[in-house]
Structure 1
Amino acid sequence: MKKNLLFVFTMLCALSFFTACSDDDNKKNEPEGAVLLKGTQTYSAEKLSLKYGDSPLLGKAIIFATEDGKTGTIKMEGVFDPSIIEDLLPSKTEQMVSLAPGVVPGEVTTMFNVNLTQDGNKYTFEGTDSNNGREMKYAGTVDSTSMTLAVNVTMPKNDLLGTWNLAPIIPGESAAEANKSQPLTMSWVSSTPIKIDWNWIDPQMPAGTMMEMPVDNVVKLLSSLYASPALAGALESITFQTDGNIVASYKSKGQADWQTSPTNLAQYYIKDNKMFVQLNIDNIIATVMANKGTKASTKAGFVDIINGFASLLSKGVPMNYAIKSDAATISVDQTLLLPLLSLLADETIVTLLLPNIPENYQTAASEVLKQLPEIIKNTTEMNVSLHLVKK
């Protein structure tokens, strides 16, 4: 009997020992304190304070996930906020990820792992993520209600880096020659001529004096007489920054001094020997509204434009570029221009466009817009080029 009791006592001691060891092992695997945000959380709009460089970056969403409170994943993406065009979308709560560029130029989404440090009721994290030839330093905090995140990106080196002045206007003996020495040049070859009223060009001529002209002659004339001088009066230089931002030195109408545009309005990246320009719509609209002090007005029908050119909004507008010595040419051709111009044949778009044209040009613009479908149909060449010189 004593032997049996001794055996039972020995077994109980052994079980207690193994249980204690097991508890110690489990405690070693547990994080210090409770896991604050186990699972996946999404932060956007007022729940997210995101900075790219030193400036706020709007219209983005951050998806944060952790299971153990020690490590986590962060996914950054763009979100087209429907509240800025609340009249356009069928659902005012609908989010349209494909319509917005991501946080890092050239990346519609960016995902990386982070090490977490618990600080009271929040986590902090910081580190460096390298991918696609770029380096991104990040730091932030996150809790159950909000996230702050700052990223500083260095993009791969490219030949456009630095500041470029607008090429000067060098008048030629003819419109064709002048078009070769302008900051902005245009060409448009179509077998369908354009019908114009001489009164549109020279108010001294009687209205109704119609004539046909090759489209290419007309656009070259408009470029040299109007477009290039207007551009030269509004734009001094463009700077392509190392973080992918495009910053311009510009002058608004009625202002005497040049001013620098805010960062995070437009960004760029180089891929497959092309330059892609991404527009941060939320930042642009916020800047316009701040400058004007009014709410941006919108119209239904614009949503068709957005949906039709979703890839241009998310991945960026593809542009050709060439650099020779200290001169650069950035251009777009018919591949991009023709689909955009085709929108001008839409009655809804025309209705939106005409009120923004000076009243004395509205008749001429209306008549030209009516001719566009046939001209576009027979177009064989089209190009718009911006010419820059290294500062």
Structure 2
Amino acid sequence: MKKSLLYLFTIICSLYFITACSDDEKPVTWQDISKTYTGNQLDLGTSLIGSVGSVKLEAVSADKVNLVLTDILPGENEVTLSAILMKGGESSSFPGDFIIKGMATISTGELTVNGYILKGILKLDIVREMTSSVVGNWDLTIQDGKTADVFISVKGTPLDDLLNSMGPVVGQLLAQKVEKVSVLFGENGQLVVGYKMPGSDAIDLPPAEIAPVLVNLLTWYEKDGIVYIAARKDIVDIIVALIPKLSEIDITPYLSLLELNGSFYVLPIHATIEANNARLYVTKDFVQKVWPLIKTLIPADSQYAFLLPIVDSAINSAQSIEIGLGFTTPCIIPAD
């Protein structure tokens, strides 16, 4: 009797484990993939977007999904798009259970989304193509190698003429320090700044070894004539915490110059583009934020200390202030 019960118990357990294994191997259907993917369930697969956002996926049918990207792209707090859903696996070039492909027009350009779902993880390659006129290589304008194009426009104070005349003076000082400054606003959101020192044979660019890190840290976008330089908040916060330990410099006050937009710190810079000429500048609201920090860098016994109250008064009373740099982009001559 005991042997019979033991035999029966063994059969029941075997059937249970066989059934459990069958459940584990149950194929994933399109009805199973609708959820919000975030954290370890989300692999964005590109360095020009955030890492702390989420993607809500709603499978409408076997061949269509709706996606909501939240706090993924700088300048786009939420993006909604429809995408094609295809079966993956051995019959396709993708290893995933399902393949996702979609495109959308957003406020900062065109968006392409490709990816797949594998073992509950959503992997997306998100590419943004900027349509801004800022896209391209820009060089700081330096006239005859002697004066950089620095402009200061102050209106509404008794010192307008004096302050505005300081632009060329600052431009001459800048041209003595650098022979060339180049800025690349990449079509994919990449931002690269290079410079050439006097007497140098080449433009100094970020080392190739750290280029991916910089791309991951800095990007840009443009809206309504304002260029936003964007930096991932999580990475900036790490840098802010590390720098005092490495150099005893506290850069926390400088974060007040930035605006927080989702998971990004952004620095707004006004831009005026005409043909192959560009002017990038800040206005009074930014000057009012940065001036108190600049004053702390000027020693009380400096020969320029007497100017501080004068500049204070001018900044506070000015109707408008514009301070910036002029850039040009090389003209491309069509081939015959």
After TM superposition, the score normalised by the length of structure 1 is: 0.55
Provide the aligned C-alpha RMSD in A.
4.7
Which residue pairs with 1:18 in the alignment?
none
The one of 38, 63, 71 aligned to 2:55: 63
Which residue pairs with 1:112 in the alignment?
81
Give yes or no for the alignment of 1:155 onto 2:140.
Answer: no
Tell me if structure 1 keeps the 8 A contact 2:284–2:320: no
Cα shift readout 1:258-312 (whole Å, capped 9, x = no counterpart):
24454351323354xx2422312348749979x9897797676667655xx4469
Cα shift readout 1:126-183 (whole Å, capped 9, x = no counterpart):
3131314844322224467754321223333x54443232222337xxxxxx8xx523
Counterpart amino acid of 2:36? T
Alpha-carbon distance in structure 2 between the residues aligned to 1:386 and 1:223 = 11
Which residue pairs with 1:239 in the alignment?
184
Counterpart amino acid of 2:227? F
Alpha-carbon distance in structure 2 between the residues aligned to 1:39 and 1:160 = 37
Which residue pairs with 1:73 in the alignment?
66
Name the CA shift for 1:119/1:368 in 2 (closer, same or farther; >3 Å).
farther
Which residue pairs with 2:274 in the alignment?
323
* Percent of aligned positions that are identical: 11
Give yes or no for the alignment of 1:138 onto 2:113.
Answer: yes
The runs of 5 or more residues in structure 2 that have no matched partner are: 1-26, 331-336
Which residue pairs with 2:150 in the alignment?
184
Give yes or no for the alignment of 1:224 onto 2:166.
Answer: no
Alpha-carbon distance in structure 2 between the residues aligned to 1:37 and 1:255 = 56
Name the CA shift for 1:159/1:186 in 2 (closer, same or farther; >3 Å).
same
Tell me if structure 2 keeps the 8 A contact 1:321–1:331: yes
Alpha-carbon distance in structure 2 between the residues aligned to 1:163 and 1:287 = 30
Alpha-carbon distance in structure 2 between the residues aligned to 1:281 and 1:255 = 33
Cα shift readout 1:174-212 (whole Å, capped 9, x = no counterpart):
xxxx8xx52332233453559xxxxxxxxxxxxxxxxxx
Name the CA shift for 1:276/1:123 in 2 (closer, same or farther; >3 Å).
farther
Name the CA shift for 1:385/1:341 in 2 (closer, same or farther; >3 Å).
closer
Alpha-carbon distance in structure 2 between the residues aligned to 1:305 and 1:185 = 21
Tell me if structure 2 keeps the 8 A contact 1:268–1:276: yes
The one of 327, 338, 356 aligned to 2:284: 338
Alpha-carbon distance in structure 2 between the residues aligned to 1:269 and 1:253 = 32
Alpha-carbon distance in structure 1 between the residues aligned to 2:308 and 2:328 = 34
Which residue pairs with 2:299 in the alignment?
362
The runs of 5 or more residues in structure 1 that have no matched partner are: 1-30, 79-101, 172-177, 195-212
**CA apart distance, 1:117:** 3.8
Name the CA shift for 1:286/1:331 in 2 (closer, same or farther; >3 Å).
same
Alpha-carbon distance in structure 1 between the residues aligned to 2:289 and 2:244 = 30
Give yes or no for the alignment of 1:383 onto 2:322.
Answer: yes
Number of residue-to-residue matches in the alignment? 284
**CA apart distance, 1:61:** 1.0
Tell me if structure 2 keeps the 8 A contact 1:191–1:379: yes
Superposed, 1:264-283 pairs within 5 Å as 265-269=218-222, 271=224, 274-282=225-233
Counterpart amino acid of 2:170? S
Cα shift readout 1:351-377 (whole Å, capped 9, x = no counterpart):
xx73xx4xxx43347665555442222
**CA apart distance, 1:48:** 4.2
Alpha-carbon distance in structure 2 between the residues aligned to 1:285 and 1:256 = 33
Which residue pairs with 2:100 in the alignment?
126
**CA apart distance, 1:40:** 2.8
> Which structure has greater helix proportion?
1
Alpha-carbon distance in structure 2 between the residues aligned to 1:317 and 1:280 = 12
Query: In structure 2, the residue corresponding to 1:362 is in which secondary structure?
Result: coil
Alpha-carbon distance in structure 1 between the residues aligned to 2:133 and 2:290 = 35
Name the CA shift for 1:141/1:255 in 2 (closer, same or farther; >3 Å).
farther
Alpha-carbon distance in structure 1 between the residues aligned to 2:188 and 2:318 = 38
Counterpart amino acid of 2:79? T
Alpha-carbon distance in structure 1 between the residues aligned to 2:323 and 2:68 = 37
Cα shift readout 1:33-83 (whole Å, capped 9, x = no counterpart):
58544433333xx6643244xx453454122233678454332233xxxxx
Name the CA shift for 1:68/1:331 in 2 (closer, same or farther; >3 Å).
closer
Alpha-carbon distance in structure 2 between the residues aligned to 1:278 and 1:192 = 34
> Which structure has greater strand proportion?
2
